[in-house]
Amino acid sequence: MEGMSQFHERDNAAIYQGFTHSGEVISEDACLKHRDNKPMKDSEQGNQESHLKMPSTGSETDVSTKRVIDSAHVKRTLETDISTEKISDISNFLKLEPLRKISRDHAEGADFSGLNTPGSSNLQSPDHLQVVIQSDEQNKLNRILSTMQLRLATAKTDIEDLLSRLNQELAVRQYLATKVKDLEIELDSLKQSGKENLQQAVLTEKEKFTQMQWDMEELRRKCVEMELKLAAEQADKMRMESTQRILVQENERLYQELDAAQQQNNSLQKLHLELESKSNTDVKLLVKEVKSLRSSHTELKQELSKLAKEKAEVEIILREERQTREHATAANIKLLHEYEILRSRLEECSVSFLIEEENKLVLDASIPSDAIDILSTSDDRIGLLLAEAQQLAPDVETTIAGRNLDGEYSRTAVDELRKQLADVYVDNAKLRKQMNSVIRYALQTAGRSKDNEEECPSTKTALTKSLDG
């Protein structure tokens, strides 16, 4: 019985060792694959979640939040890998636990006959599987099982810790998401308030600029007013300076008169002193001459009254001469106006049928048929103008003459000019009348030459020759 039990224990240990080795290999391969795939998936998911849940706001709070989430994600990935390894070991142990129980049951109820027939149906059938494990392998297996139980308990504790940490991570993630949303809302509010503040500042600056423009216009208007006022003040100042200059000149003149009066006064004082010095010696003589002085005083008074009368007469004469000059000036202006009218009328009366060709005067070909009548009318009008000019000539000759220094009357230069002007006008009128006579004679001669052209075409008068030449 003891040999059979040892054989069963040896078989069970071998089978368990094979299962354990294969399970450990499988678990190690699965862990490697899981470690290779899981971090990549977790990193991709973490990156996606971080990109989705953590928008780049550019603030320090967002950067710190992103760092906390990344570190939590790395920690969670490592803990997940550890828990995966432990769970795979536990699953392998749970798969081998029924095999151990089956080996024990078959070891207790098996007999020796079964060992001698290795090709029996009980050993080959999976329903009646029997495992033989040796005693030293059984102790080793027991130690492995106890170790696995300890690892299972530790794994359960780690799982509970991981779950609690996962809950904490979820709470932290929710808190950070809420914080991010609050920060986004606060950022939007800050943007809106900043935009409103900027608009208000722009409006304020526009109002300040408008007010500045109004102030500039007001200053410009005040500047123009000040310039006008300054110009007026400068004009007043110049006028005051001219007035002051005149007053200074007047004061200088008065000072000169005062100096002359003072000199005269000084001379009179000297004379008075001399008279006083002589008065002591001439008192008696003066007493004797008092009566004569009184008589001379009356004579001086009479002479003074006479001089005053002469002065009044001279002033009257000067006033009359001034009036005479004014009347003469008015008469001259009137005479010039009348002569201007007569000259314009004389220009209107002038008729000329002569034209200048190559420095020669010839009769105009387009002479009207009534040219002689026109010349007669012009002569009559010129005669009337001569009569009017001759009527003005006596007025010129009877003008008032000025008095010379010797007291004799003589013709003034203005009267001579007036007489010369009248003579020039009369001579001009006479010359125009003579010109009309010459033109009339030329026309009559030209008419006779046309009448006598067939009889004697070669004969010409001296006047027609001169006109043609």
- Distant-in-sequence, close-in-space partners of 69: CB < 8 Å, separation ≥ 6: 46, 49, 50, 53, 54, 173, 176
200-213 pLDDT, tens digit per residue, is 999 999 999 999 99
Q: Identify the helix (H) or strand (E) that includes residue 456.
A: none
Question: 171: which DSSP letter?
Answer: H
> How far apart are the C-alpha atoms of 314 and 322, rounded to whole Å?
12
Tell me, what's the pLDDT at 337? 83
pLDDT of 196 above 70: yes
Q: How far, in Å, CA of 41 to CA of 244, rounded?
A: 110
Confidence of residue 36 (pLDDT cuts 50, 70, 90): very low
Query: Which residue has tokens 């078959």?
Result: 106
CA distances from 339 to 126, 343, 420 (A): 170, 6, 12
For residue 15, count other CB atoms closer than 10 A to its CB: 20
Contact status, residue 176 vs residue 68, Cβ threshold 8 Å:
yes
Q: Is the pLDDT of residue 329 over 90?
A: no
- Asked if the model's pLDDT at residue 380 lies above 50, the reply is yes
Provide the pLDDT for residue 351.
65
Question: For residue 453, what pLDDT is reported?
Answer: 61
Contact 109, 81 (CB under 8 A): no
Both tokens assigned to 410:
């003589």
Average pLDDT, the chain: 70
Structure-token pair, residue 257: 């008169």
pLDDT surpassing 60 at residue 397: no
Is residue 7 within 8 Å of 138, Cβ to Cβ?
no
pLDDT of 402 strictly over 70: no
Alpha-carbon Rg of the chain, whole angstroms? 78
The reported pLDDT for the residue numbered 425 is 76
Share of the chain above pLDDT 70, in %: 57
Helices 2-53 and 60-109, packing angle to 10 deg:
160
What's the pLDDT band for 44 if we cut at 50, 70, 90?
A: very low
Note whether 343 and 421 are within 8 A (CB): no
Please choose, from the candidates 77, 103, 100, 94, the residue with its C-alpha nearest in 3D space to the C-alpha of residue 151: 94
Beta-carbon count within 10 A of 287 CB: 9
% of residues, the chain, pLDDT over 90:
23
User: Model confidence at 338, in pLDDT bands (50, 70, 90)?
Assistant: confident
- Identify the CA nearest to 370 among candidates 288, 442, 440, 273: 440
User: pLDDT at residue 188 above 90?
Assistant: yes
Residue by residue, DSSP assigns 346-388 as HHHH----EEESSS-EEE-SS--TTHHHHHHHHHHHHHHHHHH
Q: Tell me: pLDDT of 7 over 50.
A: no
With the C-alpha atoms ordered 385, 388, 394, 395, is the resulting torsion angle positive or negative?
A: negative
Scan for tokens 């004009």, then name that residue: 235
pLDDT at 226: 92
Mean pLDDT of the region 321-346: 81
Q: Can you give the residue ranges of every domain in the chain?
A: 2-196, 350-468
Distance (Å, whole) CA 372 – CA 378: 10
The single-letter code of the amino acid at 338 is: E
Q: Give residue-wise pLDDT tens across range 103-152.
A: 455 444 444 334 344 443 344 444 445 556 677 788 888 889 999 999 99
Measured in residues, the chain has a length of 469
* Helices 135-349/413-451 angle, 10° precision: 80
Q: Which residues pair with 402 in a beta bridge?
A: 410
Kindly report the number of other CB atoms within 10 A of residue 442's CB atom.
20
